[in-house]
A and B are shown apart, each in its own frame.
Chain A
Amino acid sequence: MDQLDPVIHAPARLRIMTTLDESLADDDSMTFPRLRELLDMTAGNLTTHLAKLEAAGYVGIEKAFEGRKPVTRISLTLEGRAAFRTYRTTLLDLIGGTSS
């Protein structure tokens, strides 16, 4: 039986990966507050799950200053997008749905 990626196979991380895959092109990044707004998650919860995804190499996290304001940007790595799409296909195959 195909194995589901345990890094993605958690509700919060699945929601994060789905949102990033839907919202970002390969060379795009999104601010932390915007991602948090899209997911309606607490900052702490989102931070924790992003750290897990970053450790797996699925998301990139870049801290920078825009003027004097610190901004954190989140991107989906190529490896992360491939992992998410494999997860999606596997999950849908397992439940007998149509993969895409």
Chain B
Amino acid sequence: MNEKPFGNDRPDAVPGDALETGDALDPEADGPLELAEMAALMRTQQRAARGGTARIVSLLLLTWGVVWFTGFLVLWSGVRGGNPWFTIASPIDSIAFGGLMIVGVAASITMGARLGRGVRGGSATSDTMYGLAWMVAMAGATATLTALIGHGLAPESITLVAPSIYVSTAGLMYLVGAAIWRSWATFGLGSCVIAIACVATFIGAPHHLLAYAIGSIVVLPVFAWLSWRGMMRGTDPTRPGSGPRASET
């Protein structure tokens, strides 16, 4: 019986042809190289497998760095006593900020979907739950803020509490990610993001918005670069995308 164990979900495969069954190929023709060449091949493949994820995470962090920087700069330019050089009229500032956030969320969903493409199992479930946790956390932050406003939170407090609650929640989510992937670099990212929220709130209105803008354009690109260099990896050997860096093997 000519059993075809797999491969017939390939669009280019014709049932029974050599390509589908692999009959035309001799596996032994792919002979081993010198030991050093085999080690180099393994390292190259390791970097290639890890690189895709690292680059997507890097782009994601860079995107949010730009989105937060631009968004908070726009808000700072819209409040009285903010930007001394030019003013953006209300509600254009809020609309622009909202639009930028939508761009960031859309980029996150698009890039996040690429991260686990074609993979199913425990780690995919964990990644999906982490993605959903972001949505639940942000929805919770929005609901809490809405409730506070409903209970009469003063407008001057809203301008301080609103960005603080969202940015702190984002920082907390990075900390959760750090715990999942056992990544100290991601833990550092979460801590820095929470620190930005604290420092900005201590500075107070209206220049807390500038503090958010500067903080995000400094911190997020730094961690984007670390991710690009493969330094955001976790150390849990049971999870994909974890374990020693290519330079260590």
A interface list, Cβ under 8 A from B = 9-15, 18-19, 22-38, 42-45, 47-52, 54, 61, 63, 69-75, 88, 91-92, 94-95, 97-100
Contact = CB atoms under 8 A, between A and B. Distances in A.
A35 B9 CA distance: 13
A69 B123 CA distance: 24
B180 to A, nearest CB: 12
Contacts of A50: 6
Interface of B: 5-10, 12-13, 18-22, 24-28, 30-33, 35-36, 38-39, 41-42, 45-46, 48-50, 52, 117-124, 238-241, 243-244, 248-249
A28 B119 contact: yes
Given A15-B41, A29-B119, 17 more contacts: A10-B32, A11-B38, A12-B27, A14-B42, A22-B49, A22-B241, A23-B241, A25-B238, A25-B239, A43-B12, A45-B22, A45-B30, A48-B22, A51-B5, A92-B39, A99-B249, A100-B248
A38 B27 contact: no
B9 A47 contact: no
A43 B19 contact: yes
A31 B145 CA distance: 43
B7 A30 contact: no
Contacts of A36: 10
Given A26-B122, A28-B240, A43-B10, A94 B25 contact: no
Given A19-B49, A25-B123, A11 B33 contact: yes
Contact of A47 (B21, B45, B52): B21
B6 A26 contact: no
Contacts of A28: 119-124, 240
Q: Which 6 A-B pairs have the closest CB atoms?
A: A34-B118, A28-B121, A48-B22, A22-B49, A47-B22, A72-B6
A36 B19 CA distance: 14
A48 B32 contact: no
Given A12-B30, A22-B46, A70 B8 contact: yes
Contact of B118 (A31, A43, A48): A31
Contacts of A69: 9
A100 B249 contact: yes
B121 A27 contact: yes
Contacts of A74: 6
Contacts of B31: 10
A16 B13 CA distance: 21
Most buried by A among B31, B35, B52: B35
25 contacts: A9-B38, A11-B33, A22-B50, A25-B240, A28-B122, A30-B120, A33-B118, A34-B117, A35-B118, A37-B118, A38-B49, A42-B19, A44-B24, A44-B25, A48-B25, A51-B27, A61-B6, A69-B9, A70-B8, A74-B6, A88-B42, A88-B249, A91-B42, A99-B249, A100-B248
